[in-house]
Amino acid sequence: MAPTLPSSLDRSAYLLAARGERPPHTPVWFMRQAGRALPEYRKVREGVSMLESLTRPDLVVEITLQPVRRYGVDAAIFYSDIVAPLKSAGFDIDIKPGVGPVVADPIRDAEGVGRVRPVTPADVPYTTEAVQQLVSELGGTPLIGFAGAPFTVASYLVEGGPSKDFAKTKAMMHGNPELWHALADRLADVAIAYLAVQVEAGASAIQLFDSWAGGLSPRDYERFVLPHTARVFEAIKQYDVPRVHFGVNTGELLGLMSAAGADVVGVDWRVPLDEAVRRIGTPKPVQGNLDPALLFAGWDAIEPEIDRILAEGKAAPGHIFNLGHGVPPDADPDVLRRITQYVHSAHVPA
Ligand code: CP3
């Protein structure tokens, strides 16, 4: 079981909303809030590769705290990456600046699947150390641990890098379902192991990113992805922390992604939150969903969008305000700070 929470953390706006209770203000955080939009991030990352930075608790703690200080958000997200646990367990993968995860020898057969193994706490002592230090520094602000869901991580391993159509991944699913299921099964173990390390070290919620699941039909999602994702959520249930699930372009999948075992469903900007609540079917808190493109539209355009999202979010038993996807690297930090302040002070029409 997760350790008993101190009451300021337990009553934090983020955790209250994630449990479907109404906090005094709507909590806000931003996916990919740590990173290149912040000059202080670019400064501490100078001369250190992304994957190397993750093995240095001093850098991980500093980078995780930067957006909390700068924006005043209601949660921190652990600075890591969806491919970090693979790397830590010895898989040959890199993160190319401006591109994303790349694999020189993509997985195409059973030998490739055999190269994937879950991390053990002994592989990632620096992760445990960084989480423990963060939890102590954050006090009443929750730390969100995260992992990549089997499909999204598999897409990088099978394609060899970012993809638009996931052609090779889909070819594996349909052409060699046994191989696909073996790979997804291992990746579920990777996600479970990495989430467990973070929660056992003190993270008070988890988010499972299936960012690219929206590339699948509901039929394929249900057959090839849902059972593996459901196993991840089921394994984490014992820790009694809110489990959030998110993907981009998942309007057709919201009901299934919720059914996979999420306590909170993340929604991108394409589906209004009240409509998302209908599609989810069972009353659950939602997270989202300002279009990141709006960050560049000027405050007069942003404010009415926030009002609309807050009003639509009332259809759910809890609402965590966020963007519909990650913070773009060229976003203006002042705009993100203003959004946080505005959401905190907003009086939402009933
Ligand atoms: O505040 C945070 O959210 C930081 C933690 C975080 C990172 N990656 C740090 C990172 C999280 C939650 C992720 C998850 C992640 N990584 C996802 C799921 C979320 C999403 O955006 O949909 C995905 C698909 C990845 C894969 C990945 N890693 C991409 C697409 C990129 C960007 C490549 C680029 O340079 O444009 C990365 C690298 C990465 N992960 C960076 C950061 C801060 C940039 C690395 C750098 O600064 O050099």
In a domain, 58, yes or no: yes
Q: Which of 45, 65, 95 to mutate to test the pocket of ligand 1 (most atoms within 8 A of CB)?
A: 95
Looking at the annotation, which residues are catalytic? 32, 36, 45, 81, 156
Q: Is residue 20 part of a domain?
A: yes
Helices (H), the chain: 7-10, 13-18, 39-45, 50-53, 57-71, 84-88, 110-114, 125-138, 150-159, 167-175, 177-200, 218-220, 226-236, 254-259, 273-280, 299-313, 333-345
Buried b (16+ CB within 10 A) or exposed e, 281-315: eeebbbbbbbbbebbeeeeeebeebbeebbbbbbb
350 belongs to a structural domain: no
Q: For residue 117, which of 185, 25, 196 has the smallest C-alpha distance?
A: 185
Residue carrying structure tokens 């005094």: 24
Domain count of the fold of the chain: 1
Beta carbons within 10 angstroms of residue 256's beta carbon: 21
Each residue's pLDDT tens digit, 54-95: 999 999 999 999 999 999 999 999 999 999 999 999 999 999
The ipTM (two decimal places) reads: 0.94
In this structure, is residue 144 part of a structural domain?
Answer: yes
Determine, yes or no, domain membership for 282.
yes
**262 assigned to some structural domain:** yes
101 lines ligand 1 (CB under 6 A): yes
Residue nearest ligand 1's atom 11 by CA: 81
Is pLDDT of 347 > 70?
A: no
Residue 271: pLDDT over 70: yes
Of 307, 309, 303, nearest in space to 277 by CA:
309
**Quick one: pLDDT at residue 7?**
83
CA of 6 to the centre of ligand 1 (A): 30
In this structure, the strands spanning 94-96 and 100-102 are antiparallel
In-domain check, residue 238: yes
Supply the range of the domain harboring residue 162: 7-345
Determine, yes or no, domain membership for 2.
Answer: no
Tell me: is residue 34 an annotated ligand-binding position: yes
Per-residue pLDDT tens digits for 130-142: 999 999 999 999 9
CATH number at residue 203: 3.20.20.210
Per DSSP, the residues of 104-158 read SS---SHHHHHT-----GGG-HHHHHHHHHHHHHHTTS-EEEEEE-HHHHHHHHH
